[in-house]
Amino acid sequence: MYLGRSLNYAWNKNHVLGEGAFGKVYQGFHKVTREPVAVKTFNKLSQMTPGDVRVREFKMLKKVNHENIVRLLAVEEDMESHSKVIVMELCTGGSLFTILDDPANSYGLEEEEFLIVLKDLSAGKNSSSSSRT
């Protein structure tokens, strides 16, 4: 097992939860409490964003507190690469994309499920918009 490390967290670099244009998300844990977390690392492309912009984005994300938005727990430095990593609560229920991509939902969600998703998305969006002011 190859571990990435920051001051308070460690993550298994063989356990990728997701990957995007700017980096990867790994399953990790708090070194003392062993609380499971998700750790997002950033690649070289993401490093092209000015540092002050990234810091401002991290601060804004830290302020958001809503049950429908993944919580940002910490911003730390990877001890190996010295780049920033963000530590988030670990959500194991899968993504909305995974649910929509399920063949059982190839014609869309049932109306009741769709309304629940729409309500949750709207509440999360409203919360994140109000946190920016």
CA distance linking residue 85 with residue 82, whole number of Å:
9
Token readout for 63 is: 């302020």
Q: What is the DSSP pairing of strand 36-42 with strand 72-77?
A: unpaired
Q: Give the phi and the psi of residue 11 in degrees, each rounded to 5.
A: -145, 145
Contact 16, 25 (CB under 8 A): yes
3-state secondary structure of 1: coil
- Check whether 40 is labelled as a binding-site residue: yes
3-state secondary structure of 95: coil
3-state secondary structure of 3: strand
Please state the residue numbers annotated as binding site.
40
Please state the residue numbers annotated as binding site for ATP.
40
